[in-house]
Structure 1
Amino acid sequence: MKEIFIERKEFLLRIGIRENGKLVESIVEEKKNEPIIGEIYKGRIKNILPSINSVFIDLGLNKEGYMYYSEELKAKGLKKGQDILVEVIKEPLNDKGAKLSSKVSIPGKYIVLNCYEKGINFSKRITDKQKKNEILDNIKLIDNVGITIRTEGANASIEEINKELNKLYLEFENLDRNMKYSPDIKKLYGEDLSLFKILRNSIGKESIKIYVDNKNDFDKVGSFIEGEENLTLEMYSGIRNLFDVYGLEKELLKLRHNKVNLPCGGYIVIDKTEAMYVIDVNSGKNVKGKSFNKTILETNLEAAEEIGSQIRVRNLSGIILIDFIDMRDRNQKSIVMNTLEESLSSDKGNIKIFPFTELDLVQIARKRQGKSIYEYMEENCGLCKGNGMILKLSYIQGLIRNEILRIQEENSIECFYIEVDSIYRERIQGDLFNFITEIEGLNKEIYLNYVDNIEGFKVEPLIFQSQKDNVSSYRVSLN
C-alpha cells in the first residue's frame, strides 16, 4: 500500500511518500521569486557575449538567466531585446542566475512534447521494434511539436498515449498563445512541478491513498487522477499539521542523524561538503564471520540497498560520492553495483550512476527536485562558528505549534511551559510577538525559558496553580 501526503502552507509545499508504512521519499519546495528546474518562461534577451559563448536573458525575476550560445542559436540570428522561449535546466546558485535552454518540453507520464520541433523519437531503453512500429502507425504528428515516447510509454496502450498527447497539446497551445500574444516576460508553465511529477511517477497498478490539507489541492489532485480506479483521495481538515498527525514529522527528524546502522552490524555515514554529499561505508560490528571477503560483501550489499533508500528519503541531489569497503574481487563489485542500481531503480529519470573508480569509489549524479531535508530543517550554528548545524528557528516554531495543538486537542489545556535552546534567545526576544503568534500562543498563557544545550525544545502543559507558581518568572507578557 502506497500513501502520498501533500501538506501546503503559504510559501511551503511538502510531499511525503510512504510504502507499507515506511517513509521512502520526501520533497520540499519553497515558493519564492526564483526559477526552478522544468519551468518555462517567456524571456527577453538582455545581452549576447560571443567571447564567453553566453546569452543573458531577463525572466522578469531578481536575476537574469543565461544559456550557452550554441551554433544553432547563432544560426537563428538572435538579437538583443528579442523575446525567446526558454526552459530552466539548472537553478540559481549564489550570485549565478538560472541556466536555461531554448529546447523546451512539456513532460507527461508516457510521452514528452518537444515544443516547436518535429517527428517521433523513442527512449533509448525501448528496444521492442514491434512496439515502436505499433506506436508509429497509430500516433499522428501534430503541428509545432515533436514527440518523445518515454520508457513507461512502451507499457501503455495506444489509447493511453493518445489521451495524454491530447492533454499535453492543450497545455502547449496555451503556452504558444501566451508566447505570441502576451506582451509581458513571465513564467508560462510550471506551477507545482514537483507535485505533478510525484503523481505521474507514482501512479501505477498498485493501490494509492493520497492525503491533502486544503480544498485547492483536493480539486487539483482530483482532476489529475480522474479516471484512475486504484487511487483514493482524502482531505484532512484538522488544525495540526498533516505531517505531524500522520507521524511523518518524527520520521523526518530522525533523518538529521548522519549515521545509519545496517542489519549486519555495519553502518553508513552521510556527510555534506560544499561541493557534494559523501557516503562512507564501515564494517562496524560486522566482524563475526570467518571469511573476510564475505564480511566485506555482506556489508557493502546492505549499504548499497540502504544508500538508495537514504538518497530518496533525504532528497540528496547533485554529486554523491560513495566510499564502499575495498573489494579486490571484480565479481563482488558487479554484485554491489547491481544492488545499488536496483535500489535506485524507482528514482525515474533523476539519476545517473557511474562505475567504480580505481579507489573503489562510486559517483552518482542526481537531478535536483526541491530541497533536501537539511536545507529546510537546518541552519548554521552562530555560536560555534564552525560546521555545526542546528534546527531552523522557523522549523522549531512549527514543531512547538504542533505539540501545543496536540496537547490542547487531547486535554483542552491553555497554559504551557516551553523550554527552547538558549542559542535562539536573541532572535526570539527580538520579535517575541511573531514567535508567540507562530506557535499559536496569543490566546494562551505561555511561560518561556531558555536553556543551554537542550535538543531543540520542550513543551509541558501546566494544569495546577502550583506548577504555574514554580515557573511564574518565565511568563510571557506582550504588553
Structure 2
Amino acid sequence: MSTEILVNIGPQETRVALVDGGIVQEAYVQRASRQGVVGNIYKGRVNRVLPGMQAAFVEIGLARTAFLHVGDMVQSGSGENGESRAPPPVNQLLHEGQDVLVQVLKDPLGTKGARLTTLPSVPSRYLVLLPFDRHVGVSARIEDETERERLKSVMTDLLAELAPDYGVIVRTVGEGASPEALAQDMQFLVKLWRSISEQARSARSGELVHGDLPLSMRILRDLLGTDVDRVRIDSFEECGRVRAFAERFVPDAASLVEHYDGAAPIFDLYGVEDDLNRALDRRVELKSGGHLVVDQTEAMTTIDVNTGAFTGHRNLDETILKTNLEAAQAIARQLRLRNLGGIIIIDFIDMKNEDHRVQVMRALEKGLARDPARNQVCPVSPLGLVEMTRKRTRESLGHILCEPCPACEGRGYVKTVETVCHEVFREIQRSARQFEAKAFLVIAAPKIVTRLMEEQTVGLAELEASLGRPIRLQAESLYLQDNFDVVPL
C-alpha cells in the first residue's frame, strides 16, 4: 500500500495528513490566527528570575511569558572528564532585563507559556546544526552500524573543514546520503546560522529573529522520507511554491509533488475528514466490537480498554487477548493522530496469563516503533496499568480544533436541575439575611424555573412563608443550566 501526504490549503488554514496504506497516521493544522512557534528563534528579554525553580520567565513577544529552565541553557553540560556536571545557579547566568537568544522547544499549552532553550538547533533536509555543541550524532532510527560509522566519519571531516566550532546530528532521512549531499546541506546550514547571528545582533527585545518554514514546506523536511510515494496539494499556486522549494532544497522530492484537482475535497480521500472528526471523540471503536475511552487532562492522558460488544468465540482469556492486541495497535495510531504527549496511562483489560501480557506489550511497542515522537514505555505495573511518556512539542489535535464547553467548562458534566434548585433556595436565604428587600426575583434557565414551579412548588411556598416575602421566577433562555441570579427587589 502507498504512503501519501495530502495538503489542504484554505483561506486562513493549512492542513496536512500523512496517509499510510489508506489509513491516516498523522495530522497537522496551521492557522493564520494561531500559528505554532516551535523552532522559532527570538531575541528575548528576561522578565523574572526564579532561583527556587532554577528557571526564568522570558518575554519573547507572545501573549504569555515563556519559560526557560537552567537545564536548557548553554552553560549546562559535562565536566572535563565527561562526568555529569550540575548547571550553576540560574541567578548566576541570568538577571532581570538581560537580552538572550532563545529557541522555542514547546508551544504554549493551556495556561503554560512556551518552553525555551538557549541551545538552538537549525534543521535542514539531512542534518541538524548545533551551533553551541561540538557533538557529532546520528539518528537512533538509523540502526545499521556500518552506515552509522560512515556518517559519523563523513560529518567529522565536514565539520573540521566547514564549521569546526559547531556540532551536527544526521537525521533519519540522511541514511544513504552521499558525502556531496551532506556537504551541500552543511554549507547551507552554516550560511543560515551566520545570517541568524547577524540578525540577532540588530534585533530588538521580543522580536522574531528566525521563523520556521510554513507547514506546506516543512512537511518536505520533516515528513518526506524514502517511503513516501507522493505529495498531493489541492492549491495550484501553493503546489508551485512547494515544488520550487523542493527543487532547491530537496531535489529528489520535487517529482513527488503534484497538484490535486479532483472533484471531491482532498480530505475526503481515504476518509481523512471523518477520521479527524472521530479523533475528537472520547470513544474509539475497535473492529472486534470493543472500544477505547481516551481522556486528556492537564496532568496526563488516560486510555481505558473495554471489550464492549465483543464476546469472543473460544474462552474469556482469548477474548481479552484479542481485544488488547487490537487495542494496542489502535492506541499507537491514536497517539500519533491526536498528537497526545506527556504522561499516558493505559488500562488494558486484566490478563492473568504472563505470556499474553508479553504479546500485548510487544504489539504496543511495534505500533510505536514508527512514531516520530520519542516515547518510553514501562512494563505492566502491579495494578495492571501500562505507563508511558511521549514527547510533546506542539498542541494536541483536540486543543487546536476545540475549546472547553461553556456549559461545563471542560469538566464533562453539569449540575442536575434538582441540585441547582436547592442552590437557589440557599441563595435566597443568604440574600434575605443580607438585604432588607420586599421581594426576590430568581432569574434562571427554563428547566430550573419549570422545576421550581412544579415539583419544588411546595418547598418554594414554605420558603416564602418563612421569609414573609414573595419570590418571583423569571425564565431566561440564555442562562446555562447551573447559572442563576437572585435579585433583591
TM-score (norm 1): 0.70
CA distance change for structure 1 residues 173 and 215 in 2, over 3 Å: closer, same or farther?
Answer: farther
Name which of 100, 104, 110 aligns with 2:120: 104
Separation in structure 1 between the aligned mates of residue 69 and residue 400 of structure 2, nearest angstrom:
31
Q: Does structure 1 residue 366 correspond to structure 2 residue 390? A: yes
Structural mapping, 1:211-360, within 5 Å? 211-213=233-235, 215-216=237-238, 218-224=240-246, 226-228=250-252, 231-235=255-259, 242-243=266-267, 248-360=272-384
Does structure 2 retain, via aligned residues, the 8 Å contact 1:34–1:61? Answer: no
Quote the residue 2:447 is aligned against: none
- Write the deviation string for residues 390-444 of structure 1: whole angstroms up to 9, x where unpaired: xxxxxxxxxxxxxxxxxxxxxxxxxxxxxxxxxxxxxxxxxxxxxxxxxxxxxxx
Q: CA deviation at 1:196?
A: 4.9
Q: CA deviation at 1:28?
A: 1.6
CA distance change for structure 1 residues 2 and 357 in 2, over 3 Å: closer, same or farther?
Answer: same
Does structure 2 retain, via aligned residues, the 8 Å contact 1:178–1:188? Answer: yes
Does structure 2 retain, via aligned residues, the 8 Å contact 1:205–1:230? Answer: no
- Write the deviation string for residues 257-296 of structure 1: whole angstroms up to 9, x where unpaired: 4333333332222233343322111123333333332222
Q: CA deviation at 1:59?
A: 0.8
Quote the residue 2:59 is aligned against: 58
Q: CA deviation at 1:308?
A: 1.4
CA distance change for structure 1 residues 150 and 4 in 2, over 3 Å: closer, same or farther?
Answer: closer
Quote the residue 1:175 is aligned against: 196
Quote the residue 2:39 is aligned against: 38
Quote the residue 2:225 is aligned against: 203
CA distance change for structure 1 residues 261 and 349 in 2, over 3 Å: closer, same or farther?
Answer: closer
Separation in structure 2 between the aligned mates of residue 74 and residue 379 of structure 1, nearest angstrom:
36
Per mean C-alpha deviation after superposition, the further-off stretch among 158-167 and 127-136 is 127-136
Q: CA deviation at 1:57?
A: 1.7
Separation in structure 2 between the aligned mates of residue 126 and residue 247 of structure 1, nearest angstrom:
32
Quote the residue 1:114 is aligned against: 130
Q: Does structure 1 residue 162 correspond to structure 2 residue 183? A: yes
Q: CA deviation at 1:24?
A: 2.4
Q: CA deviation at 1:342?
A: 1.6
Give 1:338's aligned amino acid. Answer: R
SS at match of 2:369: coil
SS at match of 2:37: coil
Does structure 1 retain, via aligned residues, the 8 Å contact 2:294–2:302? Answer: yes
Does structure 2 retain, via aligned residues, the 8 Å contact 1:280–1:323? Answer: yes
CA distance change for structure 1 residues 224 and 360 in 2, over 3 Å: closer, same or farther?
Answer: farther
Quote the residue 1:88 is aligned against: 104
Separation in structure 1 between the aligned mates of residue 251 and residue 328 of structure 2, nearest angstrom:
38
Does structure 2 retain, via aligned residues, the 8 Å contact 1:2–1:209? Answer: no
SS at match of 2:199: helix
CA distance change for structure 1 residues 356 and 39 in 2, over 3 Å: closer, same or farther?
Answer: farther
Q: CA deviation at 1:87?
A: 1.6
Per mean C-alpha deviation after superposition, the further-off stretch among 108-117 and 171-180 is 108-117
SS at match of 2:223: helix
CA distance change for structure 1 residues 357 and 204 in 2, over 3 Å: closer, same or farther?
Answer: same
Q: Determine which structure has more spread, i.e. the larger CA radius of gyration.
A: 2
Q: Does structure 1 residue 146 correspond to structure 2 residue 156? A: no
Q: CA deviation at 1:108?
A: 3.7
Does structure 2 retain, via aligned residues, the 8 Å contact 1:45–1:55? Answer: yes
CA distance change for structure 1 residues 324 and 246 in 2, over 3 Å: closer, same or farther?
Answer: closer
Separation in structure 2 between the aligned mates of residue 115 and residue 184 of structure 1, nearest angstrom:
21
Does structure 2 retain, via aligned residues, the 8 Å contact 1:50–1:69? Answer: no
Separation in structure 2 between the aligned mates of residue 129 and residue 380 of structure 1, nearest angstrom:
49
Separation in structure 2 between the aligned mates of residue 130 and residue 337 of structure 1, nearest angstrom:
30
Does structure 2 retain, via aligned residues, the 8 Å contact 1:37–1:91? Answer: yes
Give 1:178's aligned amino acid. Answer: Q
| Structure 1 stretches lacking a partner, 5+ long | 390-479
Quote the residue 1:461 is aligned against: none
**Identical-pair percentage:** 31
Give 1:280's aligned amino acid. Answer: D
Give 1:334's aligned amino acid. Answer: V
CA distance change for structure 1 residues 306 and 43 in 2, over 3 Å: closer, same or farther?
Answer: same
Per mean C-alpha deviation after superposition, the further-off stretch among 235-244 and 100-109 is 235-244
Does structure 1 retain, via aligned residues, the 8 Å contact 2:376–2:390? Answer: yes
Equivalent residues, number: 389
- Output the aligned Cα RMSD: 3.4
Structural mapping, 1:439-450, within 5 Å? none
Give 1:262's aligned amino acid. Answer: L
- Write the deviation string for residues 69-124 of structure 1: whole angstroms up to 9, x where unpaired: 35257597444433222122233244432221111112345332112322423345
Does structure 1 retain, via aligned residues, the 8 Å contact 2:233–2:239? Answer: no
- Write the deviation string for residues 292-312 of structure 1: whole angstroms up to 9, x where unpaired: 322222111111111112222
SS at match of 1:137: helix
Give 2:340's aligned amino acid. Answer: L
Separation in structure 2 between the aligned mates of residue 231 and residue 293 of structure 1, nearest angstrom:
51
TM-score (norm 2): 0.69
Quote the residue 1:6 is aligned against: 7
Structural mapping, 1:380-419, within 5 Å? 380-383=404-407, 387-388=411-412
Q: CA deviation at 1:40?
A: 1.9
SS at match of 1:103: coil
- Write the deviation string for residues 184-215 of structure 1: whole angstroms up to 9, x where unpaired: 54222333465555333332144213214262
Separation in structure 2 between the aligned mates of residue 386 and residue 314 of structure 1, nearest angstrom:
18
- Write the deviation string for residues 219-267 of structure 1: whole angstroms up to 9, x where unpaired: 1354136422584323457999653688533332343443333333322
